[in-house]
Structure 1
């Protein structure tokens, strides 16, 4: 038994810089009672730390962000959302530790994404607390009162659209679901930018963004000209024959709809 551990230990040491097996895998392998299976496990662990080692930190953190997006699309509860943000923060912390210089440009972007997800959680929590009080759902049906809930900073940070919260128009209101969706969109963009920046040297020019779809460009231009928003973000909502349908959420809490064919778009509402 000791001889087996010794030979495996020597094999790991010899692999050295070429194959750094993750400590958690080594520990898991050593817990296997069967000697042959333990040896196979340790050999597999060495391969895990081989040529693809530099890509592993990015793969892990990317999976974490993809998992968050999938949870949001599935309709995650607030309690589970809190845990998901915590897990995401842990994944980014592990990425910073494991990626080294290759992740120097990515780490700040991933951290910004986690911060945005956390901020959306603050909005969510305060809306739950506020509307749990009797009568608030009727008196402030136009949106969560910004100042009453200490969220002025959130509106400024993410340029969120507000409207009349109460019927008298005394309080600015933040429509919770659209605002939360906008912050999540910001977080997703930061995470995607972080993945693209992996391996870039600090101070190196960023890679050019791929050209936008002609339909999206046309829709966003039309929405901007119609004073829908200073920075409209179009999303495809459907397809009818050769036409593609798009929508844009405006600063006044309204939604513009468009029908496009090969970059030629017409407004539907």
Structure 2
């Protein structure tokens, strides 16, 4: 069998298996995590057949873009596989493990940029999807902000300071009020009446201070940091501000490069070993 024909057939077959697996797996966890294996198997073969430079057989992966018409996860897997295989072939070179590993670096950057732009543009042009992304992001940021504050004890410290301030203010107010009343009514009230007033103020200082402090504690406990932060995010995340997701998506893709590069190199070495034994 002609080697070029065999390489083209294997490239297309691996790509089809990746797309079919992606169609079945979708984005559901944990199945989606295993999609990295068929994708890297396709990348690995492209790197292997392109050890001496770009191999035209990798172009047989481009017809996979037809599956992008299906939309959803299948479209994304098809796009990643088709573009990734061709770009891996372009940037591949050498038969060492390190060369295979490095062959996915630039392709992943290109894929990351493309995915970022497509995803953000899709969200910005779909009001329903935009609202869903906004709500999800706001809830996530809010919950993480509250968790961070709770770990740092900032909120609990501020609550305690506020309670102390309220208690101190209540005591001071009652003391000054007591002094003013007793001084102003000293000549009009009998000794027993003054004693009753004095006792009432002393009792009020303990009870009122306690009630105000408890009320403050109750309202402080009801402070929902997560909800407040979420509301701020929802108010700010509109229109062109969705472009902020582009660097986040790109960074997420590039963070996977070590794993993808390692698996790609591993598959490339497996293909090389298999061919050597077959020959």
Q: Highest relative contact order (Cα 8 Å, sep 6+), 1 or 2?
A: 2
The structure whose residues are more often helix, as a share, is 2
TM-score range, shorter chain: under 0.3
Highest CA radius of gyration, 1 or 2?
Answer: 2
Give the structure-2-normalised TM-score: 0.25
The structure whose residues are more often strand, as a share, is 1
